[in-house]
Structure 1
Amino acid sequence: MRLTAHTDYALRILLHAAVEPERLFSIAQVAEAHAISRNHAMKVVNLLGNAGLLETVRGRNGGFRLGRPAGTITLGEVVRLTEPNMSPADCGNCLLQGACGLTALLRKAMGAFLSELDAHTLADAANGTRLPFPLLA
């Protein structure tokens, strides 16, 4: 399965927050470090904040930080939150719909994929992660 850029950015932003959970990061810092638009980063941070995965702080010196301990956030939770369509194929528009042996196999494969992500937390992924130089200051 290929994850969308939205999910990729969400995982990157969460990794930054997990590496230094008490630190406030700005959207501008993360957007610049990953060469993504501030608008896209803002949408991702807003989604993660609304889900309680990030804590957002408004104001001039505001930003975001991890909203829960990294060990309580599974990668599967993040992927389910950010992926708009978890179906690996468009079975709904297929001529073979209802008479295809592939549908059950794809569903099983997707279940295994999510099960593996559920077995790992953000803390696992953050282990050994170092922030890029521009975000250290």
Structure 2
Amino acid sequence: MQLTLQSDYTLRVLIYLALKKDELSTIDEIAEAYQISAHHLTRIVHKLGELAYINTQRGRGGGILLAQLPEKINIGEIIEKIENHFYVVECFDPGKKCCVIQSVCLLKPHIAEATQSFINTLKKKTLADIILNKKQLEKILIKK
């Protein structure tokens, strides 16, 4: 299973904001901390705002911050909302009729089960669980 870059960056934004607590952060600040594109983060921040995971304040002195406590933000639920699909193999895509054995394939249900197990494992974790090493993360990400 491979997550998209969008999911990866989404989790990175949430980790950063969780470290900053109630302090406003900017997209540029987060992009610099992770050394990634601010352009990509803009779309992700917009989506996180729509999903009510973050609050955004526009204008001079504005920024973004978590809208919920890290303990309330479920990692598996975020991934389900951010990922467009989980087409681990081509035959999962209903728009494609690619494999000649698709109608009798016994592999597909096992891959579907594994995919669901992946999500179920992530659903056992919250944002708080993935920032337990807060001091180490802060040393790398937060410029004071």
TM-score, reference length from structure 2? 0.88
Conservation of the 8 A alpha-carbon contact between 1:27 and 1:38: yes
Match for residue 136 of structure 1?
Answer: 143
Q: Which moved more, 1:9-18 or 1:31-40?
A: 31-40
Match for residue 18 of structure 2?
Answer: 18
Give distance in 1, aligned partners of 2:77 and 2:130: 14
Give distance in 2, aligned partners of 1:132 and 1:95: 53
CA distance 1:12–1:103, shift in 2 (3 Å): same
Conservation of the 8 A alpha-carbon contact between 1:55 and 1:67: yes
Segments of structure 2 that go 5 or more residues without pairing to the other structure are none
Indicate the SS of the match to 2:138.
coil
TM-score, reference length from structure 1? 0.92
| Equivalent pairs, count | 137
After superposition, residues 62-101 of structure 1 pair within 5 angstroms as 62-91=62-91, 92=96, 93-101=98-106
Alpha-carbon shift at residue 132 of structure 1 (Å) = 4.8
After superposition, residues 1-137 of structure 1 pair within 5 angstroms as 1-91=1-91, 92=96, 93-129=98-134, 130-132=137-139, 135-137=142-144
CA distance 1:46–1:59, shift in 2 (3 Å): same
CA distance 1:99–1:122, shift in 2 (3 Å): same
Alpha-carbon shift at residue 87 of structure 1 (Å) = 2.1
Conservation of the 8 A alpha-carbon contact between 2:28 and 2:38: yes
Give distance in 2, aligned partners of 1:65 and 1:135: 14
1:13-48 CA distances to partner (integer Å, 9 max, x unpaired)? 000111222011100001112122211111111111
Give distance in 2, aligned partners of 1:51 and 1:121: 16
Amino acid at match of 2:124: A
Q: CA RMSD in A?
A: 1.4
Amino acid at match of 1:104: P
Give distance in 2, aligned partners of 1:38 and 1:27: 6
CA distance 1:82–1:132, shift in 2 (3 Å): farther
